[in-house]
A and B are shown apart, each in its own frame.
Chain A
Amino acid sequence: MRLDWEIAKRGWRRYAAYPWATAAGVFTNTIFGLLQAYILIAVYRHRTNVGGFDAADAVTYVWLAQSMIMTVYVFGWWELALRIRDGSIATDLLRPLDPQRYWLAYDLGRAPYHFLFRGLPPFALGALIFRLHFPSPLDALAFLLSLVLAVLVSFGFRFIYNSAAFWLIDVRGVITLATTIVVFFSGMAIPLRFFPHVLREVCYALPFGSIIQTPVDVWLGKREGFALVGVLALQAAWALALLGLGRLVLRGATRKLVVQGG
């Protein structure tokens, strides 16, 4: 437990060490938030409701999504793949420390940093410029829980696609494709509620919907009572499933390394 805490601190520190990078990131998030907000506002000139979102919901969604990007780490995360590529993973596997647990602890140290320093600032800026929806206290708590679960689901997925580096020499293409899938099917690029009905439901069922759209829905109060419990349970289920799948992948990779060598 103590070790996990130390690793988490390392994760935090790795990103806290570059304040200018964080500032630059906040700026970029803000710009993209502005662009997306105005585009969606233009959509709502022609309609009042799209898939359950009204204009205020949509604009809030924009700033929530931008704030969540780094916390949940939607765009390509490479660190594990790099370690595998340069061979240091071999020494990691020799240590009495489970790699998945290590990287999970690391990610859980990183996420709070991004939540505070890449998440709050853009949202605050968005709230200054636009009128955003704020949740009831219960919904706010549920949102935080949903956010944590989203980080877990995202981590589970990222761990798996980074592990491709055990088998492929050049993982850039895989990571780009994985990122594309997450960006589109999580509701990051556009709310899932804008999708045609069937596609929307499929995305909600897949782990990707749990990464962005579900927390947003919770914040906006679109999920109440049993429905709320249901989506949180689905997030938790996917988190467990992906982590479990990651363990299998790791076992396969370890076996490959031992048999074939790096």
Chain B
Amino acid sequence: MVEPILVWRRLVGAQIRSQLQYRASFTLDVLGSFWISFVDFLVVLTIFHNVSRLNTWTVHEVALLYALSSITFAVTDLLIGHLDQFPQKIRDGSFDVVLVRPRGTLFQIVASDFATRRAAKALQGGIVLVYALGGVTIHWNVWRVLVLLASLPSAVVIFASVWVMGACIAFWTTDGGEFTNAFTYGGTSMAQYPFDVYARWLRRFLGYFVPLAFVCYFPVLYVLGKRDPLGLPRVLDFASPAVALAAACVAGSVWRFAVRHYRSAGG
């Protein structure tokens, strides 16, 4: 169990060392990553330049949603963002190399890259988080702390599960990679805003079926002690870890099924 983590850590160390060597391009990369994600928050600020509330949400409350969605997505992106290039790996046959090595396929794909520059996205999320916490009043108690802390890894797992399932499309068609973007990048965009702005059918599809509502909407409702505009059962506030676990199981099965297909249908 510990062993794969040691291998992965070696990769991370090696990548960081290698990427820091080219300081000029690394700096530009980091700036680029920072700004392209921060633009989304500038959009939030622009909206609140024109209105004081979005439904029942203030700018700081939305900022909190934004920050949590953004930070957890950035972490996922840092860990497995390179799955976006997975169709290319299938196309040029590099996946076969993975099958010849004595390790699990998904582990090898995850451990194949680590793009340090993506950490900049988490940084901008952090800045927004500070801004958000400065404007909301939270009555902290043990439960609120637990729910918030539990929501972070859960969000990462949920995003990761969606990403992995999306990557599996590459086993059937290498041109369809963009479908995944709708759920990964679309997913984080969706989670940055209060869930109740979206129409019911969209909430059902992108909030429950693809369980993005559990990334931060429910935990934040609980932490803020806010009344749910949708009037949903309160137990959902605590469901993030369970949903994450379920999502991970589904993603793992889909991946295994996809690899099995690849191995019988040919590379």
Contact = CB atoms under 8 A, between A and B. Distances in A.
Interface of A: 18-21, 23-25, 27-28, 30-32, 34-35, 38-39, 41-43, 45-47, 50-51, 168-170, 172-177, 179-180, 183-184, 189-190, 194-196
Given A21-B178, A32-B186, A35-B189, 15 more contacts: A21-B176, A27-B178, A28-B182, A35-B193, A42-B55, A42-B197, A51-B50, A168-B24, A169-B22, A173-B30, A176-B29, A176-B32, A177-B36, A183-B39, A189-B40
A194 B47 contact: yes
A172 to B, nearest CB: 6
B47 A28 contact: no
A208 B36 CA distance: 16
Contacts of A172: 25, 28-29, 32
B179 interface: yes
A156 B206 CA distance: 38
B25 A173 contact: yes
Nearest to A174: B28
A28 B178 contact: yes
B42 interface: yes
B199 interface: yes
B32 A177 contact: yes
A28 B177 CA distance: 11
13 contacts: A24-B178, A28-B179, A28-B186, A42-B55, A46-B54, A168-B28, A170-B25, A173-B29, A173-B31, A176-B33, A177-B28, A177-B36, A190-B46
Contacts of B33: 176
Chain B at the A interface: mostly helix, strand, loop or mixed?
helix
Contacts of B199: 38
Interface in B119-152: none
Contacts of A24: 175-179, 181-182
B25 to A, nearest CB: 4
A39 B193 contact: yes
Nearest to B39: A184
Contacts of B54: 39, 42-43, 46
Nearest to A42: B197
Given A176-B29, A176-B32, A190-B46, A170 B22 contact: yes
B28 A38 contact: no
Nearest to B27: A173
Nearest to A50: B50
Closest A-B pairs by Cβ, 9 of them: A173-B28, A176-B32, A170-B25, A24-B178, A20-B175, A42-B197, A28-B182, A31-B182, A21-B175
A195 B32 contact: no
A180 B121 CA distance: 14
B31 A177 contact: yes
Contacts of B32: 172-177, 180
B35 A177 contact: yes
Contacts of B49: 194-196
B175 A28 contact: no
A13 to B, nearest CB: 15
